[in-house]
Structure 1
Amino acid sequence: MTRQYRQHILTRAIFASLLATTVVMPAVAQTVQEERKPADARDASTLDAVIVTVERREQDLQKYAGTAQAISADDARALGINNELRNIQALVPGMSMANQEGNLEIFIRGVGSSNNTELGDPGAAPHINGAYIPRPRGLGGMFYDIERVEINKGPQGTLRGRNALAGTLNIITARPDLDAFGGYVQVEAGNRDHRGGEFALNFPLGGWAALRVAGYKVEKDSPFENAGRAQELDPAGIQDDRGARVSFLYQPDEKLSVFAMADMGKEGGTGYPGANVYTAARAGYMPDDVDLRKVIYRGAQGALDSTNWGAQASVSYDFGPVVLEYNTSYRDVDFRQTNAQSEGILWPGRNIEPLSDSNPGGIDYDNYSTQYWMTKSQSQVHELRLSSHDDTRLRWTTGLFHFDEDQEVGYFSLADKGRWYSGTEFTMPEVNGRSSAVFADGTFDVNDRLRVKGGLRYTKEEKSRYGIGGNWALGLPGTPADDAPEGWPGEFATRLGTPGFAPAFMYRPNFDVTGLTSPAEMARFLLQGILSHGRNDTILEQIGGVANGGDFGCVDRVDIGGEYLNCPYQDWVQVNGIPAQQFGRSKFNFTDWRVGFEYDLSADNLLYGLVSSGHKAGGFNDTFDPEEIPETFKPESIIAYELGSKNSFGLFDRTSTFNVSAFYYDYRDQVFQDLAVIATNPSTGEATGFALVNRNVGKSAVYGVEAESVLRLPYSFILNLNALWLDSEIKQGTVADVRSQNWGVGGATSLIDLSGNELPLASKLTFNMRLQHSMELPFGTLDWQVLASYRSAFYLTQYNNRDVEFIRKDQDTGAVIHDRTEDAASAGFPDRQRGETMLNAGIGLTTLDGRWRFEAWGNNLLDNDVSQKALVGSGINVRFLNDPRSYGLRVRYQF
């Protein structure tokens, strides 16, 4: 599509925004007449104001000059969006949320981040009560006893600041009530053996203070099925979660306000599930053709143990001319997971019988290759704000912000029965990130109708890391037996990770690998990475003697190749590799800004325009040469242009709304994964090893028009409509195609030009329709609502189903050359998710006294499987799915 045509589309979108305002203007006269009605008639026909804090001060959402949504706790609960925060995306056009290994990834209008390492940062910033959350692990465990969830779209560089490139998600918890004792108790049950409960108690303390205590617990079976023969393994996805929260509010007068909160969440079960579709695709079965929830599990049992707790406080004092506010928060994350491993999903004709000589195409269930994760994070945020009152002509706020995070991170991907490669370890005892900023933002009333606004924020970011990272490699060559099959590998395998195994991670006695080159030093370092050995592990027998200055121990067992290999080892046996020293540091500073206007066409019609910028923190990459400085990547940036209108009008003697906006994002310094050379042949200079790195090689453009309407219809019906048309295009970005990575040539890949592709997770069209109704009965109030949410097809990766060019090494020259080209599906990498419609519904009955409420709810009633994220690499195409059909009953007692 040409630039001229795109500009034409944007021009038409802006014109449509202005036209929408003109169309509703005839309704202004009707609204004026409505204002002249008696007060009781007017109250019956107006919409309740939705108060939000998206601009860091309370305001009516309909008066907010921007695109935001507020979802109440009641609406979310009624539609079955409980204990699953990511399901809230069904109510928010343009939002995509996925959970990978406990890390909640949020994309808004195609912008976000999928870098879940210790050096990654969210692209859409999550908050709780306005406090920034740097590691969004366990975020769903905060989704109880809430007031609402606010989603603000577009960069929020001057308002929320840190990493709010795509927008923000803010969970607002229920605050203590100063006036009345009360609370609720709730129990619920549903399919997949869902059992849960929630409560809250509110204690007023003399009219000037109050305390609120809340908690929840939920248990639920997995949405996945173990389709293999190892039925002793529970599938990933079993939930066992609980949490508690204490809030305190102190307001002795109108000047002073003190709010404090402490919360703790605990997640257990079998870990977060994924489904590898690679082998099914290679066999000719596309993800849409098979059941992605039937997984062939083997090896280690998936397990999750995560604790997330925090405390926050906000103190404000009104000095008269200005209000001084101090906000602080502390969060502690301790996340540990053992991944449930599988041989992919089941497809028709798949051989799932155990591997044996008579069944060479079967599954090796005695394979404990898996990944171990450990993330410990302690973060604190401090913010000092000074602001004016809302009744002044110039409303302003200014302040200081500081963020500090310390992490300890461990990741171990082990290869049980590996030959020459036994795993990859990244253990980082010291990871630190800091950010400091100074900001100011204001709105000035030019006259009664026109307001101008502007903001500025200067930020300094710094990151550092120390630890180890790289491969474990052993070469244990034996003597091939006379009856060894042709092509049988000549090395014994190493057993690693069998039951009882645990990585050492932070219990390592040493993280300094400088100068460790002798076989004894290298063997000792590998063994120090194991806290406990598995019952069938062989590594201690194989290299334990070497670590003590002795010889390799030759273990001749059938399960490691002993049926076709014989001892002793050949003389070139070796410890071939240990993790390298990892260090790094990066510093960046940048300035965000915004300018805009608001114009009241009438009391009920607002026209606004805004230009704003946002950044996401940069960082650095891994290094495999202690003499090299790690390669850094700059912060990503967006400049966003938005023009919109918000309108209230009379319809059937009731007040309804229609809002529309058009936007354009200029997305620069976009980070894509590329390859870096990490090893060369010292005699020839030829590259012999590669590693993935993050680089600023991308530039994209995002256009769109978003509209929303709330229509109050006769007979107490309310219809909510939301629609988004989105067009995204990668303008430039040539990177390594990791789908083609060939380990036979050192991990090299072909290159792919991403220009012209769409951004991942960016559907062209999303549309939500929610119909609500309530009626008074002799014994109470009956209400129900139905939500239909359509999302058109989208790509899960930046590759957009493009063909894969595979490479190989020329046997005569040794040069890396083209081998073959395969379409993405045949190569195992289909990455297009077809369009789907999701249907949620809920019905509830509240008794006349308002104390009892009975609800039935259903989520994803059409039971559509939707891939919300894909993890793609050599031989890997893992899908992370939505929640399947769920339904249940709930009883709530309010007192």
Structure 2
Amino acid sequence: MTKHCRQHALASAILASLIASTAALPAIAQPTGQDPAPAPARDAPTLDAVIVTVERREQDLQKYAGTAQAISADDIRALGINNELRNIQAMVPGLSMANQEGNLEIFIRGVGSSNNTELGDPGAAPHINGAYIARPRGLGGLFYDVERVEINKGPQGTLRGRNALAGSLNIITKRPNLDAFEGYVQAEGGNRGHQGGEFALNMPLGGWAAIRVAGYTVEKDSPFENAGQARNLDPAGIQDEHGARISFLYEPDEKLSVFAMADMGREGGTGYPGANIFTAARAGYLPDDVDLRKIVYRGAQGKLDSRTWSAQTSVSYDFGPVTLEYNGSYRDVDYQQTNAQSEGILWPDRNLDPLSASNPGGVDYDNYSTQYWMTKSQSYTHELRLSSDDDQRLRWTTGAFHFNEDQQVGYLSLVDKGRWYSGTEFTMPKVNGRSTAVFADATFDINDRLRLKGGLRYTEEQKSRYGIGGNWALGLPGIGGDFSTRLGTEGFAPSFTNRPNFDVSNITSQADMARFLLEGIRSHGRNDTILQQIGDVAKGGDFGCLDRPDIGGDTIDCPYESWVQVSGIPAQQFGRSKFNFTDWRTGLEYDLSDDHLLYGLVSSGHKAGGFNDTFDPEDIPETFKPESIVAYELGSKQSFQLFDRTSTFNLSAFYYDYRDQVFQDLAVIATNPSTGEATGYALVNRNVGKSAVYGLEAESVLRLPRNFMLSVNALWMDSEIKQGTVADVRSQNFDAGGATSLIDLSGNELPLASKVTFNVRLQHTMELPFGTLDWQLLAAYRSAFYLTQYNNRDIEYVRNDPDTGTLVPDRTEGAALAGFPDRQRGETTVNAGIGLTSLDGHWRIEAWGNNLLDNDVSQKALVGSGINVRFLNDPRSYGLRLRYQF
């Protein structure tokens, strides 16, 4: 049987900010070019405004008609969320973030995307300083010397454009200060060998320009443990990261502003960790019964080498009635990873002794089957905007946007000691994606209290791809089915885009096929046999026959039988798709009073469509349309006086109509010519889904006496898949030729969509004779959720009926015992931080604790035949930080 299947494959970060006199007070996000003023240490009668740019204009968050959160770098750092960008989800109900093979996957209110191949796109749009990031690899390397993070919930099709189906996440870095020579130096250390440093230096140039330089470094041991006997292997998850950034701001007067920034980052270590629980579940152990961080590693050492650099610029000029602004960015990603491979997790009484004739149930530590990843991306964006003065009755913005991304992609999954089948390769030297849009958005004051909002955006998207994809298939078996081919052992490296040829349209002979496979190897592994076995075939000769203990020993029949062959090479891959769509929004805002805003909003968003792999060179690849959401939201934002201090209470209700939802399905790509029985399958993306999401979200900030502040944010949400019938990949029955049953997902919940999430944060500040002491405590609860669309449903296995040629029921298994439990129970996360700032404001020492209860939470699952890989949260971490600001 031919199996043509590619699984879709940490973001780490350090947060930096200027010293706050009191971490208990909310950060004041200042306009461009200004640093936040020191927060007063004593009680204040008012709650400082939080300025955000969620609508592409600076505005008070309490005046924004929508649901968004702005989290200051001071608060994030104080709570120990400093080396994992994804850990901010503890502060944002409805936000889920996970990391797989370096891609940061963002889901907001159950909407997002896990397709990380070159054909995939994020479902929630990431940005840095408003510049769109197409390939969110290495995103954590941008997360230092930060002003704040903005999370906008709900589709942002008109405002943020490309792939903002679920919303957007925007990282705002610190901008240069025109008025002061200043900076900071920071050192920190913690458990798991955590050690890091950070600095920033701001240099004004004559009062009209300034330069800011910042950098960071961090090293940290893995959160996983090598529980097997291959002790020479380090577990996945070891971090070794470095980054630097330089920013320039030029403002000679109130009309002209020029901002430019360049940064670079490098991530090393042992790659991004996952835990395959399939065999443990088959042995009767649920994820809650075992330690998911004890992994039985074998074979190749996991290794990560990811390098990024980017540049962006923003130029604006105020002509008086209108302002013209240009924003441009460029981002280069070079990502390489060798996956750390394992035989799953440890469970009680598991046999960990090496595999041998006397111990057939042991672990084969000499198995180098693994996956290799390469992603290179060069992307740029251009946006030109023209906007009216903010004092006009009709405030409008219009403009044009263009995005282009070129990628070179490599993926190779090898089966060491293979027979008949030795790997799957997808190498694409040419992948291109483009998006062009024009947009307009406006707000009109009907009277002093009532405002009408509206926006429109027209987008054209296109994608193309050229390369190869499919199986390396060799027919070199030994007697009795023993293994006879070794591939990928220590020292192996794939060629990927360094192949001399990607045209396989005329490759049919054994010699050409053997040559093509060998061209895919940049360096052979120490114990590989493939060169000796097919090297002469590539020259027109015979197969070489080896008989070694590590490939069977005394089971190889030399010379080979005449039917031995190179039975498959990757097929030609090409594809092209082109779509256009229109996003819109309309709404009303009404000021019930100066401190109470009511609003209603209807908005839409899309995620890019695309095409699938090529299975038949004669056929055009199957395409899938863009996904779409129309969201309805009603909300109230109110400020009020409590204990003679200003507090807030915000409430919103929302409903999403989610259409053309893409689910992965299986396509039959090969059949038995005699019986018509399906013998080959491949994963495809299809618009077969339709879902509904609805809920209530409430947020309140209460300023209490004696410098206490209490923040509460809660979300109740329900989701339901209304339609979607797909092949159940859990049920692939290889004893029956790979036959797979269909499953109707209707009635299931969306993955990662908890019904209840909330967090409570208590902050306090007190003045001491030698400085200011502040502390805060965050408790975040998230109810149970499913990790896949299957929702723990039973698995119906099928087989081919030889009499009728149709699929008939074979057996039924519960999801857990079949190896596919996918429910994560509800958990509470507790973070805490305490800091002391010296009287002169120059020195600050902080202690933090993150995930103090040390709960293991699965943030994502990768499910396929024989695979149930969990990607986990960060375990308990704690440490100290010393900071000097000048």
TM-score by length of 2: 0.95
1:841 matched to 2:832: yes
Match of 1:731 among 714, 722, 738: 722
Residues 810-819 or 385-394, more deviating: 810-819
1:207 matched to 2:226: no
In the other structure, the counterpart of 1:573 is: 564
Structure 1 pair 192–477 and aligned structure 2 pair: CA distance change class (3 A): closer
Aligned-pair distance for 1:743? Answer: 3.4
Q: After the TM superposition, which residues 371-770 of structure 1 pair with which residues of structure 2 at under 5 Å, given as runs?
A: 371-478=371-478, 480=479, 488-489=480-481, 492-770=483-761
Quick one: distance in 1 between partners of 2:222 and 2:171?
26
Aligned-pair distance for 1:476? Answer: 1.5
Contact map agreement 1:492 1:562 (CA 8 A) in 2: no
Partner SS, residue 76 of structure 1: helix
- 1:271-302 deviation digits (Å, cap 9, x = unpaired): 00000000000000000010000000000000
Q: After the TM superposition, which residues 304-319 of structure 1 pair with which residues of structure 2 at under 5 Å, given as runs?
A: 304-319=304-319
Quick one: distance in 2 between partners of 1:624 and 1:643?
47
Contact map agreement 1:416 1:496 (CA 8 A) in 2: yes
Quick one: distance in 2 between partners of 1:125 and 1:203?
33
Moved over 6 A (4+): 40-43
Quick one: distance in 2 between partners of 1:43 and 1:587?
58
Give the AA of the match of 2:412.
F
- 1:487-539 deviation digits (Å, cap 9, x = unpaired): x31x6421000011000001100001002111111111111100000010001
Contact map agreement 1:745 1:816 (CA 8 A) in 2: no
Contact map agreement 2:477 2:484 (CA 8 A) in 1: no
Structure 1 pair 477–419 and aligned structure 2 pair: CA distance change class (3 A): closer
Aligned-pair distance for 1:223? Answer: 0.2
Give the AA of the match of 1:453.
K
In the other structure, the counterpart of 1:783 is: 774
Aligned-pair distance for 1:689? Answer: 1.3
Quick one: distance in 2 between partners of 1:76 and 1:386?
34
Quick one: distance in 2 between partners of 1:632 and 1:880?
30
Aligned-pair distance for 1:566? Answer: 2.5
In the other structure, the counterpart of 1:892 is: 883
Residues 156-165 or 685-694, more deviating: 685-694
Quick one: distance in 2 between partners of 1:492 and 1:67?
58
Contact map agreement 1:661 1:706 (CA 8 A) in 2: yes
Contact map agreement 1:83 1:144 (CA 8 A) in 2: no
In the other structure, the counterpart of 1:334 is: 334
Aligned-pair distance for 1:774? Answer: 0.2
Quick one: distance in 2 between partners of 1:41 and 1:446?
42
Quick one: distance in 1 between partners of 2:477 and 2:270?
38
- 1:547-591 deviation digits (Å, cap 9, x = unpaired): 110011111112212333332211110111100000000000000
Aligned-pair distance for 1:683? Answer: 4.5
Partner SS, residue 76 of structure 2: helix
Q: After the TM superposition, which residues 73-112 of structure 1 pair with which residues of structure 2 at under 5 Å, given as runs?
A: 73-112=73-112
In the other structure, the counterpart of 1:227 is: 227
Give the AA of the match of 1:125.
A
Aligned-pair distance for 1:134? Answer: 0.4
Contact map agreement 2:677 2:800 (CA 8 A) in 1: no
Quick one: distance in 1 between partners of 2:688 and 2:210?
53
- 1:418-437 deviation digits (Å, cap 9, x = unpaired): 11110000000000000000
Give the AA of the match of 2:360.
P
Quick one: distance in 1 between partners of 2:611 and 2:535?
36
Structure 1 pair 318–557 and aligned structure 2 pair: CA distance change class (3 A): same
Partner SS, residue 74 of structure 2: helix
Quick one: distance in 1 between partners of 2:172 and 2:90?
19
1:114 matched to 2:114: yes
Aligned-pair distance for 1:812? Answer: 6.1
Aligned-pair distance for 1:119? Answer: 0.7
In the other structure, the counterpart of 1:878 is: 869
Whose helix proportion is higher, 1 or 2? 1
In the other structure, the counterpart of 2:58 is: 58
Contact map agreement 1:354 1:362 (CA 8 A) in 2: yes
Quick one: distance in 1 between partners of 2:41 and 2:427?
67
Aligned-pair distance for 1:44? Answer: 2.6
Partner SS, residue 715 of structure 1: coil
In the other structure, the counterpart of 1:361 is: 361
- 1:111-142 deviation digits (Å, cap 9, x = unpaired): 00000000100000000000000000111111
Quick one: distance in 2 between partners of 1:111 and 1:154?
9
Quick one: distance in 2 between partners of 1:145 and 1:563?
63
Quick one: distance in 2 between partners of 1:442 and 1:811?
65
Q: After the TM superposition, which residues 170-319 of structure 1 pair with which residues of structure 2 at under 5 Å, given as runs?
A: 170-319=170-319
Quick one: distance in 2 between partners of 1:467 and 1:667?
33
Q: How many residues align?
A: 847
Residues 200-209 or 515-524, more deviating: 515-524
Quick one: distance in 2 between partners of 1:849 and 1:48?
23
- 1:800-834 deviation digits (Å, cap 9, x = unpaired): 00001112344666654321100000100000000
Partner SS, residue 509 of structure 1: coil
- 1:422-477 deviation digits (Å, cap 9, x = unpaired): 00000000000000000000000000000000000000000000000001111114
TM-score by length of 1: 0.94
In the other structure, the counterpart of 1:13 is: none
Aligned-pair distance for 1:749? Answer: 1.0
Structure 1 pair 43–883 and aligned structure 2 pair: CA distance change class (3 A): closer
Give the AA of the match of 1:563.
D
Quick one: distance in 2 between partners of 1:343 and 1:692?
24
Percent of residue pairs bearing the same amino acid type: 84
Quick one: distance in 2 between partners of 1:109 and 1:205?
45
In the other structure, the counterpart of 1:138 is: 138
Quick one: distance in 2 between partners of 1:747 and 1:309?
44
Contact map agreement 1:477 1:572 (CA 8 A) in 2: no
Partner SS, residue 797 of structure 1: coil
Contact map agreement 2:379 2:404 (CA 8 A) in 1: yes
- 1:309-330 deviation digits (Å, cap 9, x = unpaired): 1000000000111000000000
Quick one: distance in 2 between partners of 1:667 and 1:259?
38
Quick one: distance in 2 between partners of 1:587 and 1:874?
32
